Structure formats: C-alpha cells, structure tokens
Amino acid sequence: MSPKPDVWQGTLALMVLKTLETIGPLHGYGIARRIEQTSGDLLSVNYGTLYPALLKLEQEGYIASEWGVSDNHRKAKFYKLTRAGRRQVEKAARSWEQATAILARFIAPEESSS
Amino acid sequence: MRRLRAALLRLAATVSARLGGSAPQEFDDELASHLAMHIEDNVRRGMTPEAARRDAILKLGGLEQTKERYRDRRTLPLLEHLMQDLRYAVRTLRKNPGFASTAILTLALGIGANAAMFSFADATAFRPPDVPRPAELVRLFTTTKTVPYDTLSYPDYLDYRARTQSLSGLVAYSTLRMAMSRGRDEVPQLLGGAVVSGNYFSMLGVEPALGRGFRDDEDRVPGANPVVVISHGVWERYFHSDPSVIGAHVTLGGRDFAIIGVAPAAFSGTELYFHPDLYVPLSMTRDVSSGISPRFFDDRSQRSLTTVGRLKTGASVRAATTEVAALARSFEQTYPDTNRGRAAIVLPELTARARLDSGGVQGATFLLGIVGLVLLIACVNVANLTLSRAAGRSREIAVRLALGASRGRLIRQLLTESLLLGLAGGALGLLFAYWGVAYLSTIKIPTDLPVAFDARLDQRVLLFTLATSMATGMLFGLAPAFRSTRVDLIRALKASEKTLAGRRRRPLAARDVLVGAQLAASVVLLVTAGVAIRSFVKAQRADPGFRTDHVLLVSFDPTLIHYAESQTKRFYQQIVEKTKTLPGVASVGLAQYIPLGLSSGSQFLVVDGYQMPEGQDRLSISANTVDSGYWPVMRAPIARGRAFDERDTDSSPKVIIVNETMARQYWPNQDALGKIVRLRDRNGPAAQVIGIARDGKYVTLLEPQQPFVFLPLSQRYRAALTLVVLAKSDPAALAGPLRAAVQALDVNVPMFDVRTLNDMYQARAMLPPRLTSQLVTSLGLLGAVLAVIGLYGVVAYVTAGRTHEIGIRMAVGADRRTVLLLVLKQAAGVVIVGLVIGVGLAFVFTPALAEPFDINPRDATVFTLVPIALAGVALLASLVPARRAARIDPMVALREE
C-alpha cells in the first residue's frame, strides 16, 4: 500500500502535506515560499519541481485543488488536504520519525566514541 | 490502490490529450498566476520589473522545462511515445504501400505456414492433456532389459499408489473396446472406453460437466460398482444432451451400468489420439470384457495399465524416479516370481510421449524445423527490403538526428515499424493458417473407435503466432534499425539518395551477409525437402508385399459380449463357413492384425543356436496371428516351405512362419526351414519353422525391412480378429450380405471397422507419406520462391547501386565484358561462400532425418542439383542489372550525382 519513493520525492510530498495541514488551503507559489522559509532557506529548490509533486499528490487523492482568489486579489489555484491526505500526513510523519529515530541511533554512538 | 488510481488518471489524461483535453491550458494559467505573484513579491523587495521576472523564471527552473515535467507526470509518457511511434509507423507504411504490402505478405506466408505447422505438430506430438497444471503430470513405467517402457499390473499399481511420497496422486487406466446398448433389445454399439482408477477425475482435476466423477474407493472390489461416466460427445450423440441422463442405465458387455456423470466437453482423456467415449472403474474391467484375464486383479504379471501421476509441489522428477526405483527393488524382493529384473522410472508426460512415439515427435520436430527455415528466409527478405528502404530514408533520419532526436528514440521508432509489420503479417498469416488447419482437419483415421487426429487453431496456436510475429518483427527489424541510424550526418545531408545507396560501404557488407545467409538457409531447406520428398515418393511406390484390391475387412470381438473361448472359436468357425457360401466371395481368412493397419503386435521368442547380445535373454519380433485362409486372400507369397493348413491344430506340433529378413538375420548361411524357435522365453514351447514368407511392409511403408513372424490361429487363441474376405468383384458390395449372416448367427455380436482393404490402405498406409511429402513439397516451394525473389532482389539492388561506379569505369575505358566480369566476380564470392556453408549445414543436419524415416540422407542428386540451381539464380540476378549497367551511357551515369 505505502509507496516507497526516493527520499527527496517522499520528503517533498511530506513537506507539502504538512504545510497544507498547518496553514490550510494554499496556492503553489505560497507552498513553495513556505517550504523555503520553514527550512530556513537551507533548501534551495526549483519551484518548478513542486508542481509535478502536487499533481502526483492530487492523482493519489491526498489533496484536492480549486481556483480561488489570493490575498492580493489574484486568480490562483488553491490546494487543500483531503481526508485521505490527513491520514497520510499522520502516517508519513510517524514513519518519518521512526526512520530518523533509527538513523539517530546509528549516528549518535559513533559520534560519542570518536 | 493509490498508485492504481494515479495510473488510471494518467491513462485517462493520455487518452483525453489525444482527444484535445483542456488540462494543459489550465496549467499554463496556474504557472502564469505563480509567476505574477513571484514577480510582484520581487518588485516589492526593490527589483526592477525585468530583473524580477528573470529571477522568477530562474527560480522556477525554466518555463518549458517545468511544463514538460508536469506533462510527463500528468500522462504516461512511455505510452504516449508508443502511440506517437505507432501513428508515425502507420503513416510511413501507408506512404509506401508497395513496401508494406510486400513485407506483410512475405511475413504472412512465413508466419502462416509456421502457425499451421505448429497446429499439426501440436496434434501429433506436443499438446498436453486438457487438465489443470499439465506441467506437473508424469508417467510411471516399469522397465526391463527387453521392454524399456512397460505398463503396470493392477496389484503393482495399487502398491506404487499407496507408497509413493513424491507424487500427490497416481491414476491408472487402460483403453478397451466396449459394446454399449441403451436397452436390452438394442444391438450393441462399439465404443472406445477406458477402465480407470477411482481417483482418475479427482487427481487430474477434471470436474464433470454433469453428475459426479468416481470416488477413490470405487475401483477396489471387482464387479461391485457398475457405474459409468460418459464423454460429452456420447452424451450429445446418443442421449441428445438430455440432463436427465444421470441415473439412467446402459448395458456394457451385457451388464447394467448406471450413468453417474458426463465428462466436460474439453476433456478427452490423457492420450493424444484415443479419446474415450466411456469411463468405467478399474474394478469393472472383467464386466465390460471377458477378454481380460480372470487373474487381472491379483496376478502381477498381467500388465496392462498405463499410469499418470502428478508431482507434489516442489518434488522433482529425479526425486520421484529415485523413489520409485527403490520401491521397485523392494517389490523385486517381495515378489521375485513376477517382479525380478523389473525396475521403475518416472518421466515427465511430454518426455514419455517422445520416448514412446519417437517417430511422431521427430516427425513434428522435422516439419517445424523446415517451416522455421521458411520463416527465416522470409525474415531475411524483409530485413533486406527494410535495409534498401533505409538507404532511401537516410536523409530523413539524418535530418531528424540533426534536429535533436536521440538515436535510441529513432531505433525505438524504427522497431515499432518492424513490430507493426510483424503483427500485421501475423494477423494475415492466421488467415493462411486457418486454411492450412482446415485442410489438415480433413485427415481421418480409418476406424470406428474414437481415435482422432485433432489439428485445431486454439489458444496455443494463437499464442505461438503472436510470439512468432513479435520475434519476427524484432529479428528483421533490429539490424536495419541499428545500421540505418548510424549515419554520417554531414555527408548524408549533402548527398542525394542514389549515391547514398551505392556508396556507403557498410550496408553493402551487411547485404553480403544477408545474401550469404539466405543462400545457406535455402540450401538447407531445399536439400532437406528434396531428400525427404525423394524418399516419400519411393515409399509410395514401394510394394507392400500383399494385395490391396478386392478385399473386405470386418472386425469382431465377441468377448465384449462375454463369449467364452469355446463360443468364440465356434463363432469364427461358423462365420468363416457362412461367408464362403455367400455369392461373390472367392475366399475367406482371419487375422489378428491387418498389415499397415491401425495396430500391430510382437512376439517374444528365443532362436535356438542364436547368440543373444549381452544382457538380453529373448527377442521381441513383430508378429501376426493368422489362419490358413489368410494367405490365399492376401496373396502374400510364401517363398519356401508351406503356409498354415489343416494339419496345424491345437494338438499338433507347434509351427511358425518367418519372413526372409528374419531367416537371413537369425540363421545366417543356413536354411531356416525346419529350425526351432522357443516362444515366450528359453523355457517356452518349441515351434518349428515350416515356411519362409516373402518380405513385406508391416507397420509403415517407410519402415526399414524388419524381421517378422506369423503364428497359426489354431495354436494361439485370439478373440479380437479381423475377417478378410476376397471378393470376385466389388468387395464393398459384400458388406450387406455379411452383416445379415453375422446377425443370423447372433444379433448381439458387434461388428466394426467394416471397410475395404484398399480404403484402409489409402487412409492408413499411403496418407502419412503422401501428406508429409505434400507438406514438405509445399513448404519447400514456398521457401524456394521466397529465397529466389529475395536473392534476386538483393543482388540486383547491390548491382544497381553501382551504376555510378560502372559509369566511371566505362568512361575511363572499360568495355562491357570487363564490367560484366567485375560484377559477376563480386557476386560470385558471396554466392560461393553461402552455398558452401549451406551444403555443410545440410550435410550435418539431414542424417537426423534418417531416424524417423527410412531415407537416404546424403542423396547425391539432391545435394548436387540444389546448389547448382541456386547458383544459377544468383548468377541471373546479378547478370540482368549488370547488363543494364553496362549499356548505360557513361555520361548519364556520371551526371547522376
């Protein structure tokens, strides 16, 4: 059931979902800026890669989109979490925590021994 | 699930994009809105509008790139490319109808011939029984030094079935004639039946169409379970597909049986040719036929059961063989009288068939090999056509490469074209195959029993055709695709089509290989076909050693209605007497087998004074049992000594007649007359040789001359016999009076296989060699025509490509003769190499033919004529364009650039 995409694909999707969960419905540009800001400008990506990722999430049914009007009164396409998306955020976040926890155990003792 | 949903959406998007959906426009809007917001932000941060815009596009990673990535995710790019390629291929092929139709027709002939031949081979050798998981099926044989693949006795079968661990089930059966009537007052009909073990249907995994199959224990108590499962065919023919047939009663061999089930239509038993009408539990064997030994159930030397097992999941054939071999050793110790020297082996079902009917499998393989060569030649032809066209297309390809198409993409596209051609050829080929199979289906085996040759266009043939078409497309497409995309761009763009065709050295080399391959394949095909045809023609002209005209055959088996031995003997005596008195009858005889008929037998014997080969204690010689009337009817000459007559009775000394080959082989440099042989084994009864019969053909017309013996019916009781009646005029006219005579004796005795010896001879003896030579001839001709056309095409094309060069040569002073010689010399090299390779291959392969057929594999005439004829064609093919080239005005040729 759960796909196993490569790290970047997976993390980007998780970031998108998490962003939408925190902020609510948002357009592509907003999501890109938000991810950039949250990562403390550590992540410098092409915004362009975001759109195929959004499309994939939509095809999988985790998010839905509709046209609306932005704060600056511009027409924009807004994305929001679906119910399946909410469940997916939890699941993905949990497995992410697990994965980092496991990795941490590998990395921490090495640091202390050296 | 989520992935599936995504995939479906992408598929839908791919299709809707074809239909002009609006999604791309929507993404353009989304991008525009994205950029507008980004630019606005940038301007707010103090950038100039131009810088803001540049920065926004830069951060996006390029406008077009983003759109493309988005499109790739929205649809299925691979599918999209494939559809593009397909559309492009269809368009290209439609632009070249000449090329396309030639290629498709050539391939269709090759593929169609292969599909029909596969159907034939499937029917004669390879088709597995129609049961679930047929690959798990194995056969269990007992084996001795003289009989490598022997059947099992009933007690042996029960022991193997109970003790095997590697098989999940083991069924046993034996095929029998059965006489069925639907009521007491109906004359019995002869049908083909099988007595089967109780687990027969359950182990094979066959669910009856109606009613039930047998229970596992229904085969245990002799005579206790009078139940029968009828075939779907019998249900339709005799019971009008009436579902209330379950529970009805029929009479088999005079006893009432309850119908408990109807076998499914697709199931026809586990034998290739014999498709039982009736299935009866093994325990009822003696009830359906009194011809079975009374000791069938407890005598381990009464071996008549064929066994089929199913390997347990994960068990190997090797493990099963090891296991049954160990079981056989333990039976040897427990039952030394019957089982000493008797081992056991397990073989996969298909392997077993190949061992038992090696002729069928080898014949089928041979025909598949021949037809494979035809397809190979067709492929070479089309590859060559494709290559010729590629030369003409190299400019188009160069342009596309220059415009940035990747070579991989171009190759994929050219291959799509080839595959399309292959599939189109396959589709048309199926039509040819359909005709071929329709023709093959007219083959009838001359018997009343449910024995049928069953060629059909089924799923297996369709799958085979599809695979062949795809493989063919790849085979002839791959090399041209790779070659034609390796282009020197600059030169290709500058040059004209004609010079490209003539100048590029590499395609010429490729063509040389093609010409050579084509010649080699043609030689192998034609030599093989030629050798086979000559042998088959010889076989058809062969003298069978007996008359085939004016004889009527009628078969009987009174044990089917439970005649005792004395009754049977009296019946035959009476029917012979009565037939002799019928008007129009010249003479009458009885025989167990008809030479070149449907069945044949053999006799174990030991020749006094003959040194047996190491490890063998007796001979197995083909044999027939006949009465004294047989010889005058069949006009089978006795060379020396005498035929059987009234002197040979039950109580007189035992006698035997041997044929000339037998006499020569086992009494070399002696007179066989008066010599003694022992029947059965070293301690068996002695029989004196009283006559030497002229050699004849006994089983097939193609057989090598083999030793043969005749035994007198008076000294060797046989219940199933054929009456041979010599008529003064039309033998078929005797059938009616004869039937009346039989019914006057006993209305219940079934008579079957009533036909003239000539009909039998034509259908049984003559058909296989005639059919095979017809098949091989038509395949050989097809291959030859394709090869000649192909050969001519290649050589002519190569030569035509050199027009320019020839022009130059002539301009600088070469005369016509020099030019002709030049062209011929170049062609000769390739032709000779191809022919030599072909003759070499044919020399290696044709001896394989000698196995199934009695033929001379190194027929000198064929080996000489074929290469000469092909060399002639090649010569002609290069001569015509060479002459044309030599006639050309040098100025014209030079101006062509």
Q: Averaged over B223-252, what is the pLDDT?
A: 94
Q: Which of B61, B70, B73 sits opposite A47 (nearest CB)?
A: B61
pLDDT the model gives residue B786: 86
Instruction: Answer yes or no: do A29 and B62 touch at CB < 8 A.
Output: no
pLDDT the model gives residue B812: 82
Instruction: Answer yes or no: do B2 and A1 touch at CB < 8 A.
Output: yes
The pLDDT tens digits of the residues spanning B561-620 come to 888 899 999 999 999 999 999 999 999 999 999 999 888 999 999 998 888 887 778 898
Please check the confidence at residue B316 and state whether its pLDDT lies above 60: yes
Predicted confidence band of residue B851 (pLDDT cuts 50, 70, 90): low
Among A93-97, B13-17, B267-271, top mean pLDDT goes to B267-271
Please check the confidence at residue B197 and state whether its pLDDT lies above 50: yes
Averaged pLDDT score across all residues of chain B? 87
Give the Cα separation of B780 and B530 in Å (integer).
Answer: 8
Strand segments (E) across B719-776: 721-727, 751-756
pLDDT the model gives residue B425: 94
pLDDT the model gives residue B178: 92
pLDDT the model gives residue B575: 96
Count of beta carbons in the 10 Å neighbourhood of residue B64? 7
pLDDT the model gives residue A2: 38
Give the Cα separation of A37 and B192 in Å (integer).
Answer: 87
The pLDDT tens digits of the residues spanning B636-672 come to 889 999 999 999 999 999 999 999 999 999 999 999 9
H or E element: which one contains B306? strand B303-311
* Chain B (6-35) residues lying within 8 Å, Cβ to Cβ, of chain A: 6, 9-10, 26-27, 29-31, 33-34
The pLDDT tens digits of the residues spanning B339-358 come to 999 999 999 998 998 888 77
Mean pLDDT lowest for which of B12-16, B128-132, B689-693? B12-16
Instruction: Answer yes or no: do B5 and A77 touch at CB < 8 A.
Output: no
The pLDDT tens digits of the residues spanning B695-737 come to 999 988 878 889 999 999 999 999 999 999 999 999 999 999 9
User: Are residues B407 and B505 in contact, defined by beta-carbon separation less than 8 angstroms?
Assistant: no
Distance from CA of B16 to the nearest CA of A (A): 15
Choose between B798 and B549: higher pLDDT. B549
The pLDDT tens digits of the residues spanning B382-391 come to 888 888 777 7
Q: Which of A48, A49, A74 sits opposite B37 (nearest CB)?
A: A74
pLDDT the model gives residue A110: 53
pLDDT the model gives residue A7: 42
The pLDDT tens digits of the residues spanning B448-479 come to 888 888 888 889 999 999 999 999 888 888 87
User: Are residues B310 and B203 in contact, defined by beta-carbon separation less than 8 angstroms?
Assistant: yes
The pLDDT tens digits of the residues spanning B92-149 come to 888 888 888 989 999 999 999 999 999 998 988 888 998 999 999 999 999 988 788 9
Q: Which of B9, B33, B37 sits opposite A59 (nearest CB)?
A: B9
Q: Is the minimum CB–CB distance between A51 and chain B shorter than 8 Å? A: yes
Q: Is the minimum CB–CB distance between A114 and chain B shorter than 8 Å? A: no
Q: Which of B9, B40, B73 sits opposite A72 (nearest CB)?
A: B40
pLDDT the model gives residue B23: 67
User: Are residues B325 and B345 in contact, defined by beta-carbon separation less than 8 angstroms?
Assistant: yes
| Positions in chain A short of pLDDT 70 | 1-10, 41-45, 108-114
Smallest CA-to-CA distance from B632 within B546, B704, B743, B722 is with: B546
Smallest CA-to-CA distance from B291 within B563, B556, B555 is with: B563
Smallest CA-to-CA distance from B413 within B507, B484, B481 is with: B481
Size of interface A-B (CB pairs under 8 A): 75
Q: What is the dihedral of CA B451, B453, B459, B465, to 10 degrees?
A: 170
Instruction: Answer yes or no: do A74 and B61 touch at CB < 8 A.
Output: no
User: Are residues B30 and A55 in contact, defined by beta-carbon separation less than 8 angstroms?
Assistant: no
Smallest CA-to-CA distance from A62 within A23, A6, A17 is with: A17
User: Are residues B412 and B85 in contact, defined by beta-carbon separation less than 8 angstroms?
Assistant: yes
* Chain A (1-30) residues lying within 8 Å, Cβ to Cβ, of chain B: 1, 3, 27-30
Give the Cα separation of B230 and B238 in Å (integer).
Answer: 10
Distance from CA of B3 to the nearest CA of A (A): 7
User: Are residues B10 and A59 in contact, defined by beta-carbon separation less than 8 angstroms?
Assistant: yes
pLDDT the model gives residue B495: 58
The two most distant CA atoms of chain A are separated, in Å, by 58
Give the Cα separation of B877 and B413 in Å (integer).
Answer: 33
Amino acid symbol at B807: G
Burial class (CB in 10 A: 0-12, 13-18, 19+), B268: buried
User: Are residues B633 and B588 in contact, defined by beta-carbon separation less than 8 angstroms?
Assistant: yes
CA distances from B114 to B85, B121, B418, B631, B817 (A): 28, 10, 19, 46, 45
Chain B residues with beta carbon closer than 8 angstroms to that of A33: 41
Give the Cα separation of B504 and B90 in Å (integer).
Answer: 28
